[in-house]
Amino acid sequence: MQRVYNFSAGPSVLPLPVLEKAQKELVNYGSAGMSVMEMSHRSKAFIEIAAGMEALLRELMNIPANYKVLYLQGGASTQFAMIPLNLMVNKKADYLDTGEFANKAIGEAKKFGEIKVVASSKAEKYTYIPDLDPATFTKDADYFHMTSNNTIFGTRHTTLPETGNVPLVTDMSSCILSEVIDVSKYGLIYAGAQKNMAPAGVTFVIIREDLLERSGDNLPYMASYKTLAAQDSMVNTPPCYSMYIAKLVFEWLKDLGGIPAIQKINEEKARLLYDAVDGSALFKNPVVKKDRSIMNVPFVTGNEELDNKFIKEAEKAGFVNLKGHRIVGGMRASIYNAMPVEGIKALVEFMKKFETENK
Amino acid sequence: MQRVYNFSAGPSVLPLPVLEKAQKELVNYGSAGMSVMEMSHRSKAFIEIAAGMEALLRELMNIPANYKVLYLQGGASTQFAMIPLNLMVNKKADYLDTGEFANKAIGEAKKFGEIKVVASSKAEKYTYIPDLDPATFTKDADYFHMTSNNTIFGTRHTTLPETGNVPLVTDMSSCILSEVIDVSKYGLIYAGAQKNMAPAGVTFVIIREDLLERSGDNLPYMASYKTLAAQDSMVNTPPCYSMYIAKLVFEWLKDLGGIPAIQKINEEKARLLYDAVDGSALFKNPVVKKDRSIMNVPFVTGNEELDNKFIKEAEKAGFVNLKGHRIVGGMRASIYNAMPVEGIKALVEFMKKFETENK
């Protein structure tokens, strides 16, 4: 059985060399005499894996020393609640509404404090990133929340809001490690791993240390950034195997040349696909050009029947998970780090062939 | 490299046939053309895995139809808070204090309501399970919490408290699937998977449906049993790969003859090890005999130096993770379902040899 080109929005394609290495080591890791899955999280062998993973992430993202890296469970959705639970002091926060998950984050935060939605592109079906006027920001907000890349709608921020002393908090689930960023501009970055980092089951939180002091003493200990940071995320058993795969992914990324190298590849992949869509008479992408994601590319024919035909024939030809999210319809190609350029080139060829056959 | 006998308390040994099957399928699962790690959790292939896993668990444990099975993240420690958050109506609950994790559960619950510790064996270093007088139970408690098996101290309940209409809630992390139980006696059973079920990263909650109605509307959606149950635990991306391994473990267990068969094996394993300890002049087990765990067997020489020598020599001989928890000291052999009888026999031989050499 040949491997397919997997355009799933998440969980998503992983690098083949990572899978092959994991396969080789699955029953017996190094000289451990056991699988990584069987290791005590307090064992020397596993502590080395965890520390190695964190060191690689710090190196790849150039994370400053005054930031803690936490590896947690529960996905970004759990962070939607943990962020207000931990960071709210004045019980006020600003949020940007740029997509489905941004909106869910707003809904959760409203359970804990006064939320101002500074800007929203909902009325235009989230097809752009709104321009922002810092004068409208809440001066004594506990934080400012945004979503760096909107997985469902295929938009991304290319500039950051000027929030002054208000810490910027961002959901980077669908674009972390895809392009060079300056971590020091953020108070907190969080990401479910199942797109660019690892299999589902681990969630990364990168938090500026001074913010840890905000966590109240009466929080459940599994929900307290302060407690989790103080115990290096090992308050209880962490999601060990997902962390191990994350380490392999980070090694793969480093060998490739790190984030600058993958960014160049990602931009090339996105260019190839957007050029194909824009140059086509059949397909179109609804997003304002300057705000287009380089990770998630929605495209539609405008004809539901034809969309379904495309998805079906694409699957037969080995391009899977191209069905768009039900909110947007049509197709969506998620082209994360592990999707090779060849996959995009082959998809573009298939799109051209389909267009010719369906004139 | 040969595999060792791994007596880790968790994460723990997995059945070798499970690891070998996972290895074979790692890069390419069936006809999917991708790894299970890369599958969308909404895909047909993965939904089949999740449904198959749940069906097997229901069959193995004979779970009645009016119970929901949830697969969550965050470990038992997260449940320590979710249980009071969801189940408290009168804001009162009874707890048994039979070990370190029971005690942690009490600490978390106290953040949410009035907790009565009905009985505690703490003063005797948790070496027994206290006798209970139902007259001391709180009549209008929202639930009664216990820990079925105490991993660190090596004790277990062999009878259940008579709580009448008060739902019995139990942490079964270190003994689930090890012996036949009657699920209908409980309101809620929870278990981190990393001992008898799967690699770390998934936590099972088996909850009687009427209790779901207690979850308040203002809970974070990832912390609400009601919301999680309504969406079959797929509110966001679940820990897919751990669930897949759980399915393989459940298949292995079913092929073996199910819980009655593994219970017989576990009782035989425990008997062999306790007989060796009790018959020895060097080793002893501090637990009251009737309350001895069949999953976790602590034993000490009474001499720290000799304990350390034993642990070191055992490791060289291929018996690893025998160091006891720092609270108890000495040694502990965790002999979960996946530890074969041969592992116990070999350990017993090694213990005898060590005793002879260290007279």
pLDDT one-digit tens code per residue, B91-114? 999 999 999 999 999 999 999 999
Least confident of A200-204, A325-329, A340-344: A325-329
Q: Which residues contact A337 (CB under 8 A, 6 or more apart)?
A: A15, A177, A178, A196, A253, A262, A265, A266
Kindly state the average pLDDT of the residues B189-199: 98
Structure tokens at A334: 């998620």
According to DSSP H, which parts of chain B are helical? 16-25, 44-61, 75-87, 100-109, 225-230, 240-256, 258-278, 304-316, 341-357
Taking a contact as any Cβ pair under 8 Å apart, which residues of chain B between 24 and 83 contact chain A? Answer: 26-28, 30-35, 37-41, 43, 73-78, 80-81
Token readout for B304 is: 């720290």
* Contact list, B6 vs chain A (CB under 8 Å): 33-34, 38
In the numeric block, which tokens belong to residue A202? 């681990």
Per-residue pLDDT at B47 exceeds 90 = yes
Burial class (CB in 10 A: 0-12, 13-18, 19+), B27: buried
For tokens 């909850």, the residue is B207
Residues of A in contact with B238 (CB under 8 A): 200
Cβ–Cβ gap B40/A321 under 8 Å = yes
Contacts of A16 in chain B (CB under 8 A): 27
Q: For position A271, what pLDDT does the model report? A: 98
Nearest CA in chain B to A318: B33
CB B38 to CB A6 under 8 A? yes
Interchain CB distance below 8 Å, B11 and A40: yes
Q: Over the stretch B257-266, which tens digit does the pLDDT of each residue have?
A: 999 999 999 9
CA distance B359 to chain A (A): 31
Cα(A68)–Cα(B257) distance, rounded to whole angstroms?
A: 48
From the list A3, A39, A77, the residue facing B236 with the nearest CB is A77
Name residue A66's amino acid: N
CA distance B197 to B199: 7
Separation between Cα atoms, residue B1 and residue B205, nearest integer Å: 37
Q: How far apart are CA B250 and CA B258, in angstroms?
A: 9
CA distance A220 to chain B (A): 6
- Distance (Å) of CA B310 to CA B94, B322, B353: 41, 9, 11
Model confidence over B9-29: pLDDT tens digits? Answer: 999 999 999 999 999 999 999
pLDDT in tens, B276-321: 999 999 999 999 999 999 999 999 999 999 999 999 999 999 999 9
Amino acid A97 reads D
Percent of chain B with pLDDT strictly greater than 90? 99
With a threshold of 0.95, does the pTM exceed it? yes
CA distance B14 to chain A (A): 6
Tell me the chain A residues in contact with residue B332 when contact means C-beta distances shorter than 8 Å: none
Q: What is the rounded distance in angstroms from the CA atom of residue A300 to the CA atom of residue B289?
A: 69
Place of tokens 């049993």: B225
Q: How far apart are CA B63 and CA A146, in angstroms?
A: 43
Amino acid at B303: N
Quote the mean pLDDT of chain A: 97
Mean pLDDT of B121-138: 97
| Tens of pLDDT, residues A170-212 | 999 999 999 999 999 999 999 999 999 999 999 999 999 999 9
Kindly report the backbone phi and psi dihedral angles of residue B50, in degrees, each rounded to the nearest multiple of 5, phi listed first: -65, -45
Q: Please judge whether B27 and A19 are an interchain contact, meaning their C-beta atoms are less than 8 angstroms apart.
A: yes
Q: Determine the Cα–Cα distance for residues B30 and B19; give it in Å rounded to an integer.
A: 16
pLDDT by residue (tens digit) across B154-193?
Answer: 999 999 999 999 999 999 999 999 999 999 999 999 999 9
Q: Check CB contact under 8 Å for B41 and A11.
A: yes
Q: How far apart are CA B208 and CA A77, in angstroms?
A: 25
CB A322 within 8 A of CB A294: no
How high does pLDDT run on average in chain B?
Answer: 97
- Asked if B240's CB is within 8 angstroms of A200's CB, the reply is yes
- The H-or-E segment that residue B296 falls in is strand B296-299
Q: How many Å lie between the alpha carbon of B135 and the closest alpha carbon of chain A?
A: 31
CB nearest A34 (choices: B6, B33, B241)? B6
Residue A262: name the closest of A176, A158, A170, A154 by CA. A176
Label residue B1 by pLDDT band (50, 70, 90): low
The beta strand positions in B159-219, using DSSP E, are 168-171, 188-192, 203-208
Minimum Cα–Cα distance from A198: chain B residue: B37
Label residue A359 by pLDDT band (50, 70, 90): confident
Q: What is the predicted pLDDT for the residue at A1?
A: 62
Say which residues have a Cβ less than 8 Å from residue B165's Cβ, sequence separation at least 6: none
Q: Which residues of A touch B43 (CB under 8 A)?
A: 8, 321
Percentages helix, strand, coil for chain A, rounded to the nearest 5?
40, 15, 40
Backbone angles phi, psi at B35, to 5 degrees: -75, 155
CA distance B263 to chain A (A): 22
Residue B36 clears pLDDT 70, i.e. is over it: yes
What part of B 9-28 touches A (C-beta under 8 Å)? 9-14, 16, 19-20, 22-23, 26-28
A195 and A14 Cβ atoms separated by less than 8 Å: no
Nearest to A64, CA basis, from A160, A183, A222, A221: A183
Q: What is the ipTM of this complex?
A: 0.97
> Percent of chain A having pLDDT more than 70?
100
A314–chain B nearest CA distance, Å: 14
Cα distances from B15 to residues B4, B196, B197, B314, in angstroms, run 13, 10, 10, 21
Alpha carbon distance A313, A184 (integer Å): 46
**What is each CA distance from A144 to A117, A223, A293, in whole angstroms?**
10, 20, 21
Contact B27 A20 (CB under 8 A): yes
